[in-house]
Structure 1
Amino acid sequence: MTDFFTPSALSLHRQSSWIRWFLRVYWIIIVLHGAAQLFAYWLIPYDITTRDFYMDILLYPALMMGTAVVIAELIHKWAPKYTFFSLFGAGAVLSLEIIHLNMDIRIITAMLLLPIMASTIFFRMDLTLFTSVLQTIAFLAMYFGDSWFRTFLTPFDLLSVPIFLLVSTLVSAIIIISGRELVQDLERAQKEKRQIMKQSRKDAQTGLYNHSTFQLFFDTALERGQQGEGFHLALLDIDNFKMVNDQYGHRAGDLILLHVSRIIRENLEPHDMAFRYGGEEFALLLYGKELHESYTVLETIRNRISETDFDELGGKAVTVSIGLKSYISGISRENLFEETDSLLYLAKRSGKNQIAI
């Protein structure tokens, strides 16, 4: 179930930059509001003394709004846990101060809606609800605590403003829910894409990495080898596999491939890699060990396979032959593979069910 009261991964990733953006905008609002008041005073006659204008209309409000933003800045720096509360608290101070100074403008109370709508940027329902409650309390406090403010409002305003705040909150909630669902859809699509890409690297029949993936990791291993990180290449082939298919059918052969792949995977160390090279042949890249240690790992695999009785073969086992060669500084890609392949066929010619190194 979606939790709309906690930030999504996307909002967490971006929230720090959005907070800085909000704080910068707050400063811009303070400057623009002061400039607008100043130009209006110069161009429109005010029934107020020059001193009262500069002190009561410009200086005191700017100090109050600036102090709120500075506090938000400090909280964001030193107590980030409370950043959002201080951020939208400062927004409430700015909106109420602007409304208080411009109450003769009929539509100015719409400023109360802006912090609520702005909170949707973070896709967090708790922030929107907090901001909505904060703005409602602030409006009611101003209405009942400021007789001059009440002179500019009608009884209809007392009813309509809280309704507008509620509607704004509901619209913001819809935006948040739809936005969060969109983010989840995008994350799900990305996950599915990664899964498809992962599957395209795997052999569908055995679950091991496929031939093309081996080529990529083989190149990487060679690059690491040139930098001094040794590795070993092993080629493993199921003995007499054509006879298995001919005698027991291709379905049995497919199941044997699956069982052998499982045994290989279960006995490799975590940093080793196994690939289905093609048909009944497998390639293994073994890292971080000496040649004799790699031999021990492969011997365990060989023994496990030869000692396993398969129901598909009427209780009989199969064997594997393995060629193993260490990376030698300066050896080419082709020579390393060809020499390992030659060792594999040496193991087969020498009686099968053995490892040639």
Structure 2
Amino acid sequence: MKQYFDFVLITMGYVFALVIMFAFGKDIQGLYMSLEIPIIVSLFYFSKRRLLFVMLLTLGSYFALLACVDTLRDQVNRYDLIAVTGMIIGSGVIGLAILKRGNELQQSLERAVSSEIDAFVDSVATQNASKYDHLTNLYNHITYQEYLTALTGQHDAYDMPLQLAALDIDNFKGINDRFGHHVGDIVLQETALLLKSSISSEDVAARYGGEEFVLLLTGKTIKQSHELLEQIRERLASTVFPELDHQSVTISIGMADYTKGLGKETLFKQADGYLYEAKRAGKNQVVSPLGRRVSSAPEIIQCS
């Protein structure tokens, strides 16, 4: 019933028109104009199929009733018959023209909406592209600075935990020199994937530049963040790269804890200072205000 409800409604419009003609046709001339009712109803559906249906229904049924019902035949003369036929056909032609124009407007609107959507998608894609580093798909330096400003402000306002970690791949120049820059790019990409898979959705990972990365760790104590960084260091040290003759790489990490009013520049300087301390102490370790944990594993890639 739901599928054919509109056809039923159009037919009811036709029946209503016939009732008007039978009830008042003897007293009021020109009531055949009520046959326009089902045609008007069909136009609301903006469907050529329904308009053709009501034209055939109205003409066919009207002539059938005219042939079979004396009451209706007595009300209609030759001129009325011509007028009814012309009115139905003319209304149908006008209706088809309206539907054609309506379809053109609809298509024009769809094209405009599609163009708006495409422009919006392009805008979003451009905006996203400007936020990410094209090689590692991590946030770039500019986006990292935006997050750092926002998170330090959030810490100052609500005293929320925040740590900044600076990470540097050990002996990266030796990797490029021995295996080529394309292998160095693979190492950067795999390291970035490891970082993204290790942190939570509330943390931020970014490529600071070259072989150096930064992590903004939120909602954790300094001990928890230090342990997380140790896990990252250990995971990378145990990852074998086929491109490096099945060897591994290591990473040095410095982490600073943010305190209220410290400022983002000072925070980074502290993390960077801890990173250089890790480098001077032998690399492949995490250094933070909690101290450092020296790895017993030897460095795998050495500079030539």
Preserved CA contact (<8 Å) 2:42 2:51: no
What is aligned with 1:256? 187
What is aligned with 1:201? 131
Once the 2 structures are TM-superposed, how far is the Cα of residue 170 of structure 1 from its aligned partner? 2.7
What is aligned with 2:23? none
Once the 2 structures are TM-superposed, how far is the Cα of residue 133 of structure 1 from its aligned partner? 5.0
What is aligned with 2:243? 312
What is aligned with 1:128? 46
Q: In 2 relative to 1, CA 115–298 (structure 1 residues): closer, same or farther, beyond 3 Å?
A: farther
Matching residue within 166, 174, 179 for 2:109: 179
Measure the CA separation in 1 of the matches of 2:199 and 2:172.
Answer: 23
**Is 1:191 aligned with 2:121?**
yes
Question: Is the helix fraction higher in 1 or 2?
Answer: 1
What is aligned with 1:233? 164
Q: In 2 relative to 1, CA 338–131 (structure 1 residues): closer, same or farther, beyond 3 Å?
A: farther
1:175-224 per-residue CA deviation (whole Å, 9 max, x = no partner) reads: 22332233123212211220121011111111111111111111111111
Measure the CA separation in 1 of the matches of 2:207 and 2:86.
Answer: 77
Q: In 2 relative to 1, CA 207–251 (structure 1 residues): closer, same or farther, beyond 3 Å?
A: same
What is aligned with 1:54? none
What is aligned with 1:275? 206
AA matched with 2:138: L
Measure the CA separation in 1 of the matches of 2:146 and 2:48.
Answer: 53
TM-score (norm 1): 0.60
**Is 1:220 aligned with 2:150?**
yes
Measure the CA separation in 2 of the matches of 1:230 and 1:114.
Answer: 66
Measure the CA separation in 2 of the matches of 1:114 and 1:176.
Answer: 20
Once the 2 structures are TM-superposed, how far is the Cα of residue 250 of structure 1 from its aligned partner? 1.3
AA matched with 1:128: F
Aligned residue pairs: how many? 251
* SS in structure 2 of the partner of residue 128 of structure 1: coil
Preserved CA contact (<8 Å) 2:42 2:54: no
Preserved CA contact (<8 Å) 2:48 2:96: no
Q: CA RMSD in A?
A: 3.8
Structure having the higher Rg: 2
Measure the CA separation in 1 of the matches of 2:156 and 2:256.
Answer: 16
Q: Percent identity over the alignment?
A: 31
What is aligned with 1:355? 286
Measure the CA separation in 1 of the matches of 2:280 and 2:214.
Answer: 19
What is aligned with 2:69? none
What is aligned with 1:293? 224
Structure scoring higher RCO (CA < 8 A, sep ≥ 6) equals 2
Measure the CA separation in 1 of the matches of 2:184 and 2:153.
Answer: 36
Preserved CA contact (<8 Å) 2:254 2:271: yes
Once the 2 structures are TM-superposed, how far is the Cα of residue 333 of structure 1 from its aligned partner? 1.7
